[in-house]
């Protein structure tokens, strides 16, 4: 049996690559594992040799100490891999298949899964609806920033690439299917982006850049990306986005300078709960700022997609209310404008097959747009540090040196 090394959360600001157990078809006790999940048998699961596993902004929230994640948690929910072993109940997925793993863990059997709401599966997390690999309060499924990873309900969850050689040639792009490309696309779809739309995207991190890419794929006429980081704004401009530096003032005024009117058809919050203020407040954390801004800049009758992460427990929040996810949102403004809102985990399986086809047939360049940067597993701590400093990159971990 081969060994297994993984990226481990040690405490605020500290991650390390350490040896952990090789996966088995049983969920064992460990950091973050819900006691009700310990001993759970996984005959429907598959063990993957990880080809690519990405560092995500959601991981960064934990590493900053902004969640209740326990020390020792193996990180990583963006997984692409080759099937190394299957359980006795797996029928269609075969050893040797190259697959994408939706970050949502879903059973395929509950009412939510049957309705396509795989982000809130009822059977995989005893704490609450919805689960993910290597994430706080998500049931304790071991993360995939590792050499090997376990995926339950393999026939249901895994997206097999039809041509393995072609997939390896496009692996940087296909690695984005596990989370950020579907998540950005979900933000654009739920915001109502369509042919000729004008779109405001708050945040030029990887999810924001993926949302901007998705908006163009859906036919947007103008995509305006807002951020504080100049390097990230440059990355947005590199594939045709207009940009706004929110440190320079009210986004609504800058939208008017671009469009001639102060509002857009659709808006996407790709920032989440660690948002900062605008203008003179740009260096101060203001967790409700982005939510209020996207309502402000969206025309009456429009919609807002919110793929940005919001949590129910934030020990590092600026006030007591925010520590439980209670923010000063201008709901009256949203009501007065008859805005529609969509929040929560993206149901990845709703989009990943179609986006795979767009990648394989050269209809999008998601890896280029998010500046996918491949690094060895051992360099994960440096990747986390550089990402935390605002690097305009999407770090892709390559545990086995398989990415050309």
Statement: residue 283 has pLDDT above 90: no
| Run of H or E including 53 | strand 46-54
Statement: residue 185 has pLDDT above 90: yes
Taking residues 213-242, report their average pLDDT: 98
Q: Is 283 exposed, middle or buried, given 0-12, 13-18 or 19+ CB atoms closer than 10 A?
A: exposed
The rounded distance, in Å, linking the Cα atoms of 211 and 63 is 24
Instruction: Categorize the per-residue pLDDT at 1 as very low, low, confident or very high, splitting at 50, 70 and 90.
Output: low
Query: How much is the pLDDT for 262?
Result: 97
The rounded distance, in Å, linking the Cα atoms of 211 and 204 is 9
81-114: burial string, b at 16+ Cβ within 10 Å, e else: bbbbbbbeebeebeeebbbbbbbbbbbeebebbe
| Run of H or E including 368 | helix 366-369
**Closest Cα to residue 110, out of 102, 100, 122, 99?**
122
State the residue range of the domain holding 17: 5-179+347-398
Taking residues 123-146, report their average pLDDT: 95
Taking residues 146-158, report their average pLDDT: 98
Question: Facing residues of 375 across strands?
Answer: 397
Residues 158 and 202 in one domain: no
% of the chain at pLDDT higher than 90: 91
C-alpha distances in Å from residue 285, one per residue of 241, 273, 281, 371:
26, 9, 8, 27
The rounded distance, in Å, linking the Cα atoms of 180 and 176 is 6
Residues 285 and 209 in one domain: yes
Domain membership of residue 248 (yes or no) is yes
Question: Facing residues of 224 across strands?
Answer: 200, 242
Instruction: Please state whether beta strands 340-343 and 298-306 pair in parallel, antiparallel, or not at all (unpaired).
Output: parallel
Phi, psi values for residue 259, rounded to 5° = -100, -15
Enter the DSSP assignment of 379: G
**Closest Cα to residue 379, out of 35, 2, 25, 16?**
16
Query: Which of 343, 359, 382 is a domain's end point?
Result: 343
The rounded distance, in Å, linking the Cα atoms of 212 and 202 is 10
Give 3-56 pLDDT, tens digit per residue.
899 999 999 999 999 999 999 999 999 999 999 999 999 999 999 999 999 999
- The pair of structure tokens assigned to 117 is 């709401």
Q: Is 307 exposed, middle or buried, given 0-12, 13-18 or 19+ CB atoms closer than 10 A?
A: buried
Query: How much is the pLDDT for 226?
Result: 98
Residues 148 and 77 in one domain: yes
Residues 215 and 205 in one domain: yes
Statement: residue 309 has pLDDT above 70: yes
Statement: residue 280 has pLDDT above 90: no
Query: How much is the pLDDT for 264?
Result: 98
Instruction: Categorize the per-residue pLDDT at 232 as very low, low, confident or very high, splitting at 50, 70 and 90.
Output: very high
Question: Facing residues of 298 across strands?
Answer: 264
% of the chain at pLDDT higher than 70: 100
Residues 243 and 166 in one domain: no
Domain membership of residue 404 (yes or no) is no
Residues 375 and 238 in one domain: no
The CATH number covering residue 351 comes to 3.90.180.10
| Total domains, the chain | 2
Statement: residue 239 has pLDDT above 90: yes
Phi, psi values for residue 154, rounded to 5° = -60, -45
Query: Which of 324, 343, 362 is a domain's end point?
Result: 343
Give 51-99 pLDDT, tens digit per residue.
999 999 999 999 999 999 999 999 999 999 999 999 999 999 999 999 9
The CATH number covering residue 271 comes to 3.40.50.720
- The pair of structure tokens assigned to 385 is 């540090």
Mean pLDDT of the chain: 96
Query: How much is the pLDDT for 180?
Result: 97
The rounded distance, in Å, linking the Cα atoms of 355 and 353 is 5
* 3-class secondary structure, 50: strand
Query: How much is the pLDDT for 5?
Result: 98
**What is the gyration radius of the CA atoms in the chain, in angstroms?**
20
Query: Which of 300, 328, 343 is a domain's end point?
Result: 343
Query: How much is the pLDDT for 353?
Result: 98
**Closest Cα to residue 161, out of 151, 176, 171?**
171
The rounded distance, in Å, linking the Cα atoms of 199 and 100 is 29
Taking residues 111-118, report their average pLDDT: 98
Query: How much is the pLDDT for 83?
Result: 98
**Closest Cα to residue 76, out of 23, 3, 38, 129?**
23
Domain membership of residue 115 (yes or no) is yes
Statement: residue 216 has pLDDT above 80: yes
Statement: residue 105 has pLDDT above 90: yes
The separation between CA 219 and the C-alpha centre of its own chain, rounded to angstroms, equals 22
Statement: residue 222 has pLDDT above 70: yes
Residues 220 and 283 in one domain: yes
* 3-class secondary structure, 301: strand
DSSP string, 249-264: S-HHHHHHHHHSSS-E
Residues 211 and 99 in one domain: no
Domain membership of residue 403 (yes or no) is no
Query: How much is the pLDDT for 243?
Result: 98
Residues 263 and 273 in one domain: yes
Domain membership of residue 307 (yes or no) is yes
Residues 115 and 173 in one domain: yes
The distance between the two most distant Cα atoms of the chain, rounded to a whole number of Å, is: 63
Q: Is 52 exposed, middle or buried, given 0-12, 13-18 or 19+ CB atoms closer than 10 A?
A: buried
Q: What is the pTM of this model?
A: 0.96
């Amino acid at each position: 049996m081969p060994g297994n090394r993984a990226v481990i959360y040690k405490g605020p600001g500290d991650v390390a690559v350490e040896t952990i157990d090789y996966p088995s078809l049983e969920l064992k006790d460990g950091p973050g594992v819900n006691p009700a999940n310990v001993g759970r048998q996984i005959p429907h699961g598959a063990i993957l040799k990880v080809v690519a596993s990405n560092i995500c902004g959601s991981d960064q929230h934990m590493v900053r100490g902004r969640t209740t994640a326990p020390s020792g948690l193996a990180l990583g929910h963006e997984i692409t891999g080759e099937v190394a072993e299957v359980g006795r109940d797996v029928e269609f997925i075969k050893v040797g298949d190259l697959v994408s793993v939706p970050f949502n863990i879903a059973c395929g059997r509950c009412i939510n899964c049957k309705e396509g709401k795989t982000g809130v599966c009822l059977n995989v997390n005893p704490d609450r609806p919805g689960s993910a690999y290597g994430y706080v309060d998500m049931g304790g499924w071991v993360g995939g920033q590792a050499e090997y990873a376990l995926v339950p309900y393999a026939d249901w969850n895994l997206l097999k690439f039809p041509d393995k050689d072609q997939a390896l040639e496009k692996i940087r792009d296909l690695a984005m299917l596990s989370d950020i490309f579907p998540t950005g696309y979900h933000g654009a779809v739920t915001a109502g982006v369509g042919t000729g739309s004008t779109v405001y995207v708050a945040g030029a991190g990887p999810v924001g850049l993926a949302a901007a890419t998705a908006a163009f794929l859906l036919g947007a006429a103008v995509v305006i990306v807002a951020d504080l980081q100049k390097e990230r704004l440059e990355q947005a401009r590199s594939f045709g986005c207009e940009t706004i530096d929110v440190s320079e003032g009210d986004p609504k005024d800058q939208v008017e300078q671009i469009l001639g009117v102060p509002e857009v058809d659709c808006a996407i919050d790709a920032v989440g709960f660690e948002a900062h203020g605008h203008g003179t407040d740009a260096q101060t954390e203001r967790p409700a700022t982005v939510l209020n801004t996207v309502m402000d800049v969206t025309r009456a009758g429009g919609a807002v997609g919110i793929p940005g992460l919001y949590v129910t427990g934030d020990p590092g929040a600026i006030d007591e209310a925010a520590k439980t996810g209670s923010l000063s949102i201008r709901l009256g403004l949203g009501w007065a404008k008859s805005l529609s809102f969509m929040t929560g985990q993206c149901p990845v399986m709703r989009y990943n097959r179609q986006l795979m086809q767009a990648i394989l047939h050269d209809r999008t360049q998601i890896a280029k747009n998010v500046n996918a940067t491949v690094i060895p597993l051992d360099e994960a701590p440096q990747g986390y540090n550089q990402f935390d400093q605002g690097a305009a990159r999407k770090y892709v971990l390559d545990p086995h040196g398989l990415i050309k």
